[in-house]
Amino acid sequence: MSGDRITLQVRERTEIGSRQARRLRAQGLIPGVLYGKGHARAIAVPERELRSAITGPSGLHAILDVVLEGQKTVHPSVLAEYQRDPIRGTLTHIDLREVRLDRPIQATVTVNLVGESPGVKAGGVLSLVTRELQVEALPMNIPEHIDVDLSGLAVGDVLRLEQVAPPEGVTFLDDPHETVIATVSVPRGLVEAVEAEEAEEVAEEGAPAEAAEEAPPEGADEGAEA
């Protein structure tokens, strides 16, 4: 759960634009926007503190107690959006959204597979179909991920969201029946081997019948000599 509350000191910025953003990053600051009650503030966040905050136990769903430089007011917020450098993987921009801790919010959380599937042990192929789920909960109750147990999944089984129990205080927003989490299928190579074996059996069963149709009826030669 995102029960961790981490204080994040930020500063407002008056200059915007790509050139200013590059300058901030060179100084170890990440440009961003803090969205609140009817306002949006352009901010700059120390990259080291931000990285420490979102790599903690609550991950990207940590509650960030944002404090603007020179002020004492705390703005409880969550990480709403972020951008990364496509090559380095470092954060290049963030959007923070103020939240009320007594009101539920919606969030996207990842699926975490746990347990060992009997179907996989028997040679089946596991496919993770849905990697993220939409949930609703109080900000402090948003889970870092949803654990999905595979211990009852045999070959040919389909695991749907309706078979997954949500954590306490969390509501799933995706369709419980239509959302397929994972499947265990028969290996393609085994399917091809079975199909080939069946085709061979059919061919063997049909061979004597064809031979019988081609053989001349008994007495045919005698009739010809007469």
The answer to whether the Cα torsion of 60, 62, 63, 66 is positive or negative is negative
Question: pLDDT value at position 108?
Answer: 94
Q: What is the Cα–Cα distance from 125 to 46, expressed in whole angstroms?
A: 44
| pLDDT tens for the chain, residues 1 to 226 | 555 688 999 999 887 888 888 899 999 999 999 999 888 999 999 999 998 888 877 888 889 999 999 899 999 999 999 998 888 888 899 999 999 999 999 999 999 999 999 999 988 999 999 999 999 999 999 998 999 999 999 999 999 999 999 999 999 999 999 999 999 998 765 555 455 555 566 556 655 555 545 555 555 555 444 4
**Which residues have CB under 8 Å from 151's CB, separation 6+?**
115, 116, 117, 118
**pLDDT for position 17:** 80
d(CA 87, CA 216): 78
3-state secondary structure of 222: helix
What does the pLDDT read at residue 14? 82
Kindly report, as residue ranges, where domains of CATH 2.170.120.20 are found in the chain.
106-185
> CATH fold of 106-185, please?
RNA Polymerase Alpha Subunit; Chain A, domain 2 (2.170.120)
Decide if 91 contacts 37 (C-beta within 8 A).
no
Interatomic CA distance for residues 198 and 206, integer angstroms: 12
List the CATH code of the domain at 5-99: 2.40.240.10
Closest CA to 187 of 134, 91, 101, 120: 120
pLDDT at position 179: 98
Is pTM beyond 0.75? Reply is no
Comma-separated ranges of CATH 2.40.240.10 domains in the chain:
5-99
